[in-house]
Amino acid sequence: MEKIEYGFGQHLMLDGYGCDREKLMDIDLIYDFLSNYPAEIKMTKIMPPYVFKYAAPVPEDWGISGFVIIAESHISIHTFPEKLYLSLDIFSCKDFDVDKAIRDVTRIFDIKKSEVKLLDRGHEFPRSIRTVERFIRAERSQLTV
């Protein structure tokens, strides 16, 4: 009997502190990062990034937010230049090199300190529906004997 593999994928959440303010303000840099980075981690970008500047009611809360949908899920970033802070998510149903992603983002945005969380999402999500189907058929055939 084949082993059924479960789990939807990895979700990297990175909070960066002490970032380079100029980079956090650079809408082109953030757009280029979201446009090019999926290929760096062997993902498939399926649309151009959506990136915009947010003018908050509290002036120091302004920033840039961006999002790119990849075939495997998404990458998002939110920057707060006045606070030298960014939050980044990479969520993918395909495994990727998390350590490389952390190093790359740290280098690109000159992060001085970071908090990192890595979740395994969808623990009961069957990776191969065909394998599950064969397993269920085999199990049902044993019940009717």
CB 30 within 8 A of CB 64: yes
| pLDDT tens, position by position, 35-87 | 999 999 999 999 999 999 999 899 899 999 999 999 989 999 999 999 999 99
Is there a domain that residue 88 lies in?
yes
Asked whether residue 135 carries a pLDDT value surpassing 70, the answer given is no
Active-site hit among 19, 73, 76, 92: 73
Is there a domain that residue 2 lies in?
no
Is there a domain that residue 108 lies in?
yes
Mean per-residue pLDDT, 90-111: 94
Identity at 76, one-letter amino acid code: S
Confidence of residue 95 (pLDDT cuts 50, 70, 90): confident
- What is the dihedral sign for C-alpha 109, 32, 73, 67? positive
Asked whether residue 124 carries a pLDDT value surpassing 90, the answer given is no
Active-site hit among 65, 74, 93, 128: 93
Q: Decide if 93 is catalytic.
A: yes
Separation between Cα atoms, residue 109 and residue 107, nearest integer Å: 6
Q: Decide if 78 is catalytic.
A: yes
What pLDDT is attached to residue 10? 87
Is there a domain that residue 19 lies in?
yes
Residue scoring higher pLDDT (44 or 121): 44
For 33-76, the DSSP string reads HHHHHHHHTT--B-S--EEEEE--SSGGG-EEEEEEEETTEEEE
What pLDDT is attached to residue 137? 61
What CATH number is associated with residue 49? 3.60.90.10
Is there a domain that residue 1 lies in?
no
Active-site hit among 35, 65, 74, 78: 78
Q: Count the domains in the chain.
A: 1
Is there a domain that residue 20 lies in?
yes
Q: Domain range holding 105?
A: 9-143
Q: Decide if 128 is catalytic.
A: no
Mean per-residue pLDDT, 104-114: 98
Is there a domain that residue 104 lies in?
yes
Q: Is-above-0.85 flag for pTM?
A: no
What pLDDT is attached to residue 126? 62
